[in-house]
Amino acid sequence: MRLLILLSLGLFAGTMAGDIEDMFKVDPEPLLKDQDKWKVLFECLMDRAPCGEYQIVRDTLPKVLASKCEQCTPEQKEKLDNVVKAYLDKYPKDYAEIMNKYFPKPE
């Protein structure tokens, strides 16, 4: 039983690492420059619209943020920090809504 659990955790970690790599292939620059593209991702993250090309971000980002990017390389962590700061500066209300959805404050 322990072996099965360890194998499952190993597979999950491997899958998560692959998902992280795929997520980082999505170029954040167009999302910062084009509000229409940002809205597509935002609506996807909020489960209000289909994700299309951003599905990997929707599937991976909450896990990455919840784990504080522990599976990320130092370069990926730096990139994530920079991207999050840029989105926070450009889209503060949307950023707050995303954080409230994925990390609600306990009442």
Mean pLDDT of the residues in the chain: 82
pLDDT digit string (tens) for 39-69? 999 999 999 999 999 999 999 988 888 888 8
- pLDDT less than 70: residues of the chain: 1-17, 107
Q: What is the pTM of this model?
A: 0.76
* The predicted structure's pLDDT at residue 17: 60
Which residue's entry shows tokens 């949307």?
94
Contact by Cβ (8 Å): 45, 58: yes
* The predicted structure's pLDDT at residue 16: 52
Q: Domains in the chain and their CATH numbers?
A: 2-102 (1.10.2080.10)
DSSP assignment letter at 49: S
* CA-wise closest residue to 42 among 5, 93, 2, 8: 93
The token duo for 53 is 């090309």
* The predicted structure's pLDDT at residue 54: 93
Kindly tell me the burial class for residue 4, based on how many C-beta atoms sit within 10 Å of its own C-beta (0-12, 13-18, 19 or more). Answer: exposed
